[in-house]
Amino acid sequence: MSGKVLLEKLKDISTYLDSIRLDWDALRKDLKTNLLTDPETAHISRDWAQFVFKKEFGQNVTGSAVTTEAGAESPTGSDDRKRDSVAKLRIQLGTKIRSSVSREGTQQGEVTASGGKKKTPTCAEEIAQIVETWIAATQDPADIANQFRPLDPGKNLLALLAANATHSNPAVASLCSLPRSLVKEKTNIYKLPKTAIMQLEWVETPVDTGLTPSVPVPNKLDLDISSLNESLEKYGHSHKASLEKDLADAWDPVRQVLRGLLQVEREQKRILTVELAKHVNEYSRKHAIALRSFDEFWNSKTEKWKKKGGKKNGVANGVDEGALAEEADALFEQYIDQIKMVADAYAEEVQPILSELRRAMETYELLLSDLLKSSDLDPKECERARQAISGLGRRREEQIDEFLRNESKSRASLTCALSDLKDSYLEGSMRTLWGRLEKCSNRDFRKRIANVEVDQQKERDTLSTVLVSDVAPFSSVAVVCLVVLEGLIVKGERCEAEALLKSKASIDSDLKLKELAMTRKTLEGYYENGVFTGQIELGRKIGRVLWSAMKQSIQAAAESHMVAFISKSGGGSLAYSAASAESGMNAVDGDTKKKKKKKKKAKTGTGEAGAANVDSVTPPIEEPSGSLVTTVPDTPKEDEGHPPEQVAFPINGTATKEEESVRPDTPVKGNSAKQVSPTPKETIKVQEDKEVDLDLSQTLPAIGDGIVSVGGLTGARPSGPSGPPGFTGPGMWGGNHVFPFPAPAFPMSHPLGGISSPTSQELVSIRDENTSLRNENTQLRKERAALEEQLRAAQHTISQLMQRMRGLESQESVKRPGYSWNRRATVNCGNCGERGHESTACDAGCRYCLSKEHLSDVCPLPVM
């Protein structure tokens, strides 16, 4: 079948079907068969199709070739990524340092508040990770390091399947993506949506997969890969160990710088968090009494004086007010001295923190200097790194000195504030106990003391914040580290290239390793070829199963539409059973020919029966919505004035013995002197065109000469064969040989019986009844003729649909893709389209009308 014809059929079919359900059992069965006729590659493609089927539909597959999950590792992983230049790496590291510095303050607060939250990587950890990833990226054009790795092609399976599904060849892309186009409804229940039905166009398109008998099946390939990995481990161990040692030596200075940076960051974090918090807590514990507020201090000391009371003149109850005033002044002086003492104590607690920070920084600076001395760097790069290291130390000392100067300024400011308070206390009050107490109880004076206490607490918090953020910040250390890393990375690349060249020369001299390398490439090619062939084969088998399901769906839909159409059109009066549709078109064609002969004879007859018929046109049948039945062609209709002859339907479809006994001979037509008895087959056929009047002689053999002509009677006593009661010959009841109703009961007269003759009124009643029955019979014949035309149109539609379905199986031998086709081993039947026999030995019958009596070539129906 040509691609254009197949495309048109798919477009036609896709308008009827919303989706196609996949027969899971049929697919599993079909996967065990071979589509190829080539015995050398048939089993290979079958096994790879089963392998791809298990992967596509989530089945478990064993074997080292496929043990790695398809999504576990991407084919473009970090080990296979190409390196960026050193300049790009420097830019990336600088961006990371700036972003870490900007979030450094908020990051610590979030970690402290969240508690159990996942820890965010620090700046040093991110820098180390970026550099290690860059080093791990391959720079070896010959991929020497990968030659010693175990072969595991299964890790690239998902990428390989996706690449084949998006192939540039539309046939390959459609076949490989057909399994992924299926929509899963439940377990092992899949359907192909309407939008993907057009992919079936490529099911029979040839595709060259390049499959050869040398490609092993998956199980055999699994064993070959295991053997290769064992040989690589055995023969490549010494080369691999030597190469790994040389590469480790090449990048050791860089890793030392990174380890030192991590150590400095950890030390700084420990000093500024753990150690600083420990010193602050110790300071608070040691000076808890001195850090009390003035209200608490003053009230606890002067409570005894408030109870005794005092006088403004300084003498009361013999108490010396001057001595009490001096005691109050000493108490106020004690408070001023405590504030100075706690301020000095905090500065002393900070000094150990500064010393530890200086020591950690000096240790890292010494490490960087030693690495520069031992590394053979470019003189300009080395001098630039030394200047950066010396600048780091100089900036550190400047920041510590700035911190100490600010702290000294803070204490000097505090001393001035306390001196002002003391002067205000002494000069702004009377030199009596009552005057001193009144001054200390003054609202404005107490507010000034509270402000000094708050400022002092803020100053301590500010010094702690400055110590963490401004004294020797980690960002300055990271910048110096970046300058030193740049020169060491350039040297590391040179050492790495030398190590790879040395290893390559060693491998080239080892013939066994060269052979293993070639075997590795061959097995990788086998795996890719096998997966590609399996995808193509699986797509074809799924397409075949979907084609079969589609044909069954179309046939079932056609039958259901036909039954619904006949039921709706027939109105229930004379509905035919489904067996009428299966009886074929032979009987209908035979009846049609006999009708034409009888019409011709009736036209040459005498009397009213020989009148010419008037043809009319039957209107087209109205189709139900969505019906597959086409419009029925116009057919001629019987003349209203000359209705066709009635049909006697035997009881249960066959004539009984009583009916056979009362069946009369065929009346004489024209001038013929011979009467021919109808055959049983003609009895149940349609007899159109002939109509005869009622012959009362069969029911009244001796009625007398006094009968007058009434209605359709001839006016004379007709002669004819006699019969039993209830039997009529060719009279007003037409050609019915068995009454469809009981015989009319009216008085009958016979000379021998003494029975009186029927009156004229009785004869008129008989005539009226005969006329009504004739009209009813005419209406029934019209309805039957319409139903016969509808049935014929439905049968013709069914034959068209069956012709389309059988046409999918081409009479020509279609060469399957990628396989050698043996034309002599295939015989196609020209009648049914099946393989394995010729049309002369076909027993399927006619594929158009379903008749078993003739083949399709001689069917009278119009062949589509």
Query: Any residues with CB less than 8 A from the CB of 149 and at least 6 apart, and which?
Result: 232
Q: What is the pTM of this model?
A: 0.47
How far is residue 338's CA from residue 330's CA, in Å, rounded to a whole number? Answer: 13
Contact criterion met (CB below 8 Å) for 523 and 228: yes
User: Positive or negative, the Cα torsion across 137, 142, 148, 154?
Assistant: positive
Report DSSP state, residue 194.
Answer: G
Contact 65, 154 (CB under 8 A): yes
What sections of 57-156 are H helices per DSSP? 86-102, 104-114, 123-136
Tokens 């860089």 sit on residue: 254
Q: Tell me the pLDDT tens digit for each residue of 490-535.
A: 898 889 888 888 888 888 888 888 888 899 999 999 999 999 998 8
Q: Is 50 exceeded by the pLDDT of residue 438?
A: yes
Beta-carbon count within 10 A of 307 CB: 7
Residue range 143-182, pLDDT digits in tens: 666 677 888 888 888 888 888 888 888 888 888 888 888 8
Confidence grade of residue 221 (pLDDT, cut at 50, 70, 90): very high
pLDDT recorded at residue 11: 67
Give the SS3 label for residue 312. coil
Instruction: To the nearest 10°, report the CA torsion of 462, 464, 470, 475.
Output: -140
Q: How many residues does the chain have?
A: 864
Residue 185: its H or E element:
strand 183-186
Confidence of residue 227 (pLDDT cuts 50, 70, 90): very high
Average pLDDT score over the chain:
70
From 543, 541, 546, 522, select the one nearest 49 (Cα to Cα): 541
The proportion of the chain whose per-residue pLDDT surpasses 70, expressed as a percent, equals 62
Least confident of 23-32, 324-333, 703-712: 703-712
- What's phi and psi for 698, nearest 5 deg? -75, -30
Average pLDDT over residues 201-227: 87
Residue 502 corresponds to which tokens in the numbers above?
């040395």
Judge whether 521 and 142 are in contact, CB under 8 Å. Answer: no
- The residue among 425 and 183 whose pLDDT is bigger is 183
Q: What is the largest CA-CA distance in the chain?
A: 182
Q: What is the 3-state secondary structure (H, E, C) of 339-362?
A: HHHHHHHHHHHHHHHHHHHHHHHH
Among 201, 228, 189, CA closest to 57: 189
pLDDT band at 638 (very low <50, low <70, confident <90, very high): very low
C-alpha span between 361 and 369 (Å, rounded): 12
Give how far Cα 590 sits from Cα of 174, 578, 587, 856, Å.
Answer: 50, 20, 5, 18
| Rounded (10°) CA dihedral 469, 474, 475, 478 | 180
Quick one: tokens of 685? Answer: 């056929």
Separation of CA 340 from chain center: 75
In tens, the pLDDT along 771-829 reads 999 999 999 999 999 999 999 888 888 888 887 777 665 444 444 444 444 444 456 77
Residue 660 has what pLDDT? 45
| Cβ contact 702:608 at 8 Å | no
pLDDT band at 620 (very low <50, low <70, confident <90, very high): very low
The pLDDT of residue 296 is: 74
123 token code pair: 């700046």
Lowest model confidence (mean pLDDT) among 103-107, 420-424, 542-546: 103-107
> How much of the chain is helix, strand and coil, in % rounded to 5?
60, 5, 35
Q: Which residues pair with 315 in a beta bridge?
A: 320
Report the C-alpha gap between 413 and 564 in whole angstroms.
Answer: 105
Give me the mean pLDDT over the 55-59 stretch: 76
Average pLDDT, stretch 636-665?
41
Q: Are 532 and 525 in contact (CB under 8 A)?
A: no
> Which residues are CB-neighbours of 607 under 8 A, at least 6 positions away?
none
- H or E segment to which residue 3 belongs: helix 3-14
Nearest-angstrom CA–CA distance, 235 and 231: 6
HSE toward the beta carbon, residue 854, CA cutoff 13 A:
11
Question: What is the arithmetic mean of pLDDT over 173-201?
Answer: 82
Which residue stretches of 571-656 are H helix?
Answer: 578-582, 586-603
> Does the structure show a pLDDT above 50 at 726?
no
**Distance between CA atoms of residues 327 and 351, nearest Å:** 37
Judged against a pLDDT cut of 60, whether residue 235 lies above it is answered with: yes
Q: Give the pLDDT band (50/70/90) at residue 723.
A: very low
Rounded CA separation 327/831 (Å): 134
> Can you give the pLDDT at residue 8?
65
By CB atoms closer than 10 A (0-12, 13-18, 19+), residue 153 is buried
- Contact between residue 138 and residue 79 where contact means Cβ atoms under 8 Å apart: yes
Scanning 193-320, the segments in alpha helix (DSSP H) are 218-235, 237-250, 252-269, 276-286, 294-308
Q: What is the pLDDT of residues 64-115, one digit of tens each?
A: 333 333 333 333 333 456 788 888 888 888 888 888 766 654 444 444 444 4
State both tokens at 786: 């319409």
What does residue 828 show for φ and ψ, rounded to 5 degrees? -110, 140
Q: Where are the domains of the chain?
A: 1-70+154-235+510-570, 265-484, 586-666+674-802, 818-864
* Cα distance between residue 453 and residue 459, in whole Å: 10
Q: Looking at residue 141, what is its pLDDT?
A: 55
DSSP E strand stretches across 558-711? 616-617, 636-637
Report in angstroms the alpha-carbon separations of 508 from 238, 519, 524, 674, 859: 14, 15, 21, 114, 78
CA dist 842 and 835 (Å) reads 11
